[in-house]
Amino acid sequence: MATRHLFIELQTLNRRAKLKIIFAKFQCLCIIPALVGVDKKTCIQFCLCTFQEEMVIRPLYSGDIYASFQFRTQWDTDFLHDGKKVSHYRLFPKSLGQVLSKFSVRELHISFTQGYWRTMQWGQPFIPSPPGAELWVWFHHTVTDVDGNWKELTNVLSGIFCASLNFIDSTNTVEPSASFKPLGLGNATDHRFLRYATLPREIVCTENLTPWKKLLPCGSKAGLAVLMKSEKLFHSSFHSQAVHIRPVCKDWQCTSTAWELRQTLNVVFDLYTSGQGKKEWSLFKMFSRTLTEACPLASSSKIYVDVTDNPGGELFDLSPSSPLISTAVVLGDRRTYSVYDLTKKETFGQLRSLNLLLRWKGENDMLRPPLHAERYVSGFGLQKGEIHTCLYNSHPYRAYPVLLLDSLPWYLRLYVHTLTVTSKTRENKPSYIHYQPSKDRLRPHLLEMLVQLPPHSVTEVTVQFERALLKWTEYTPDPNHGFYIGSSVISALVPSIVAMDTNSTRDRPLFSSFFPTKEESSYFMRVYTEPLLVNLPTPDFSMPYNVICLTCTVVAVGYGSFYNLLTRTFQVDEPSAPLAKRLANIIRRLRGVPLL
């Protein structure tokens, strides 16, 4: 019933979005209490949802440009604890809310990515994701049949996002013991309630973008979402869209929990294919749209442009300029942003539309990211191979540990005894190894390791494998393409650049720069390696192959029975003796007299 309901939901979503805007506009008036003159407390009780939207634009040194959208819907209700049926949905999408309550999901993270994030050229993304689809879910600890819930959930999500998530089954699902901790409230540590799966082959396109956009309160009718035209978003070097749902604190005292839905979309436009080689970017050039208004339902709607390396405007021109400047520590680095508040009229100027323009003037070298990784298969031939994972720590003097998670399908038979971890030509013994061997056709290998990366080094993790011969029905329709192996996941607490800055190259008050502050000293970072394409020994599925198979079967069956007939000696079977006679014979045998 639920799935059917969802289907109808999906169909009517578009029509409802418009109604919702009109309806919610009326309700949300109370978000700005001053306008209506309602007491703030009563308003919070009345309005249970808030919605924020923002976009960050980061010019990359390669000349490319990175645009990251974040849409955050917070819903101050807890439908897991109360046990009551929640039927009144406002900004929070009903399709997801129902899924959360039906499957007792505590946290859900799903991402669809087309392309590979080039850490060496682009630095770090705000929210990393592996190529293809990735899904990880923490279930509530009251769930008894986690695997059953997981299976149903993947199928439902597959319908919601029009993706092949239904291909997630036990052969590509793992329960990581350390790499994926809950990001929201609650310190669940029992990884029996965690499920993680990737589909590296999943191709992301418009059909996945449309349902994702429909989850937004304003759809793609107003606000930042008007920029999301698929013909431009998919004319890019990298495209990633994600949905993250987690429980968060309702207020700063954390007296009760609220649900947070974060929809993110990251896209990188290429200098040569989208920018015609000119280092000049504008909203119109990127998205073929300009902005005219914020989403009316949004409590805040902002655009941030990273101007950290451009304090005096020597690197690029930004127009129109904005008086608002905001600083924040992002990914271990203190960044400065120009802020454009879309809820304010003056942002749009006289033309009533905002078209940010970025014009490069200078060249600059990029900071190396402190951590990056690559992976490849070595060797040749179709029998054996070796997976190499190289982890680069480019921090000049700090060593730090990283967690490496590898989930490999069963048809690569790992030789775990060949697992080696070397850095600087010396063996590097992992301090923690969690290995779960695969079972043929049932579950994949899971390998998790905690490895200490020495400063300024390359750590190489190698493991040999043998390629299994599949049954002929198990090959994909394009067996000669190869089989995809999902990315490995590297999670680390990386020493931040801010804390690293000991000789204070930037102007800061002296009293602030002696001890590195605790919360800035290191930050969490997740890096995904590229997926692998491995060729397995493949039969030639051609007509002669089929003929040979068929002939062999016929010959085997025919020869077997014919040979049987030839070699068997036939005897006339005497009817078995009557019972009396047999009894008599037994007695005779006992007596030692000849038998009858």
Partner 1 sequence: MGLLSDPNRRKAITTARILILNMILVLHGDSVVCYLAGIAWFMGLAFEPFTLRTYMSENAMGSTMVEERFPSGERALATAREFAAHKKKVGGMPVDWLVKTMRAQGLEVFTQSFSRNLPFPDESKERFVVRGTNVYGILRAPRAPRTEALVLSAPCSPGNSNNQAVGLLLGLAQYFRSQIYWAKDIIFLVNEHDLIGVQAWLEGYHHTNITGMGYTPLQGRAGSIQAALSLELNSDVVTSLDLVLEGLNGQLPNLDLANLFHAFCQKLGILCTIQGKLQRSDWDTVEGYTHSAQTMLLMVLKQASGRPWGEHGLFLRYHIEAASIRGVNSFRQYKTDATSIGRLFEGMVRKLNNLLERLHQSYFFYLMPSLTRFVSIGYYMPAFGLLTTILLLRALDLWVHLGTPTPVTEDGVGEGESPSSPGLLSVLTPVVISHLTGVALYTLPVLSQEMAVEHFPVSETEAVVLTAIAIYTAGLALPHNTHRLISGEGTEQGWRVLKLVALLYLAVLLGCTALINFSLGFILAVTLVPAAACVTPHVPKALSAVAMVLLSPGCTILYCVFLFQELQEVPVSLAEGWMLFLSVISQGILDHALYGSLVYPLLALLVYPCWLLFWNILFWK
Nearer of residues 367 and 577 to partner 1, judged by Cβ:
367
User: Is 179:448 a contact under the CB 8 Å cutoff?
Assistant: yes
Nearer of residues 7 and 545 to partner 1, judged by Cβ:
545
Tokens of 539: 């039969």
Strand partners, 114: 239
Nearer of residues 126 and 272 to partner 1, judged by Cβ:
272
The distance of closest approach from Cβ of residue 467 to partner 1 in the complex, given in angstroms and rounded to an integer, is: 13
The bridge status of strand 300-306 relative to strand 49-59 is: parallel
Give the number of other Cβ atoms within 10 Å of residue 210's Cβ.
18
The distance of closest approach from Cβ of residue 420 to partner 1 in the complex, given in angstroms and rounded to an integer, is: 13
CA distance 404 to 456: 18
CA distance 66 to 123: 10
User: Is 194:201 a contact under the CB 8 Å cutoff?
Assistant: no
Q: Which of 428, 114, 372, 484 is nearest to 267 (CA)?
A: 114
User: In sequence order, what DSSP letters do the residues of 80-91 get, joined into one string?
Assistant: TTS-SPP---SS
Q: Which of 87, 73, 91 is nearest to 16 (CA)?
A: 91
Tokens of 513: 């720069």
The distance of closest approach from Cβ of residue 8 to partner 1 in the complex, given in angstroms and rounded to an integer, is: 33
Residues that bind partner 1 (CB under 8 A): 62-63, 114-116, 118, 120-121, 131-132, 200, 234-239, 270-273, 276-277, 374, 376-382, 386, 388, 478-482, 484, 530-535, 540, 566-569
Strand partners, 59: 65
Nearer of residues 86 and 127 to partner 1, judged by Cβ:
127
The angle, 0 to 180 degrees and rounded to 10, between the axes of the packed helices 2-27 and 94-102 is 130
Nearer of residues 9 and 270 to partner 1, judged by Cβ:
270
The distance of closest approach from Cβ of residue 219 to partner 1 in the complex, given in angstroms and rounded to an integer, is: 25
The distance of closest approach from Cβ of residue 272 to partner 1 in the complex, given in angstroms and rounded to an integer, is: 5
Nearer of residues 175 and 374 to partner 1, judged by Cβ:
374
Nearer of residues 132 and 369 to partner 1, judged by Cβ:
132
The distance of closest approach from Cβ of residue 414 to partner 1 in the complex, given in angstroms and rounded to an integer, is: 17
Strand partners, 354: 291
CA 509-513-514 angle, to 5 degrees, is 135
The distance of closest approach from Cβ of residue 136 to partner 1 in the complex, given in angstroms and rounded to an integer, is: 19
Q: Which of 91, 181, 255 is nearest to 524 (CA)?
A: 181
Nearer of residues 258 and 387 to partner 1, judged by Cβ:
387
The distance of closest approach from Cβ of residue 240 to partner 1 in the complex, given in angstroms and rounded to an integer, is: 10
Distance of CA 348 to the CA centre of its chain: 35
The distance of closest approach from Cβ of residue 512 to partner 1 in the complex, given in angstroms and rounded to an integer, is: 39
Nearer of residues 130 and 219 to partner 1, judged by Cβ:
130
CA distance 339 to 523: 24
The distance of closest approach from Cβ of residue 182 to partner 1 in the complex, given in angstroms and rounded to an integer, is: 28
User: Is 305:356 a contact under the CB 8 Å cutoff?
Assistant: yes
User: Is 266:236 a contact under the CB 8 Å cutoff?
Assistant: no
Hunting for tokens 């802020």 — which residue is that? Answer: 339
Nearer of residues 423 and 496 to partner 1, judged by Cβ:
423
CA distance 216 to 363: 38
Nearer of residues 348 and 360 to partner 1, judged by Cβ:
360
CA distance 423 to 458: 6
Q: Which of 47, 124, 27 is nearest to 335 (CA)?
A: 124
Query: What are the start-end ranges of the E strands in 397-511?
Result: 400-408, 412-423, 426-427, 432-436, 445-453, 457-467, 483-485, 489-495
Nearer of residues 381 and 594 to partner 1, judged by Cβ:
381
Q: DSSP letter at 531?
A: P
The distance of closest approach from Cβ of residue 412 to partner 1 in the complex, given in angstroms and rounded to an integer, is: 14
CA distance 141 to 194: 10
The distance of closest approach from Cβ of residue 76 to partner 1 in the complex, given in angstroms and rounded to an integer, is: 38
Q: Which of 173, 196, 55, 201 is nearest to 114 (CA)?
A: 201
Nearer of residues 150 and 238 to partner 1, judged by Cβ:
238
The distance of closest approach from Cβ of residue 166 to partner 1 in the complex, given in angstroms and rounded to an integer, is: 21
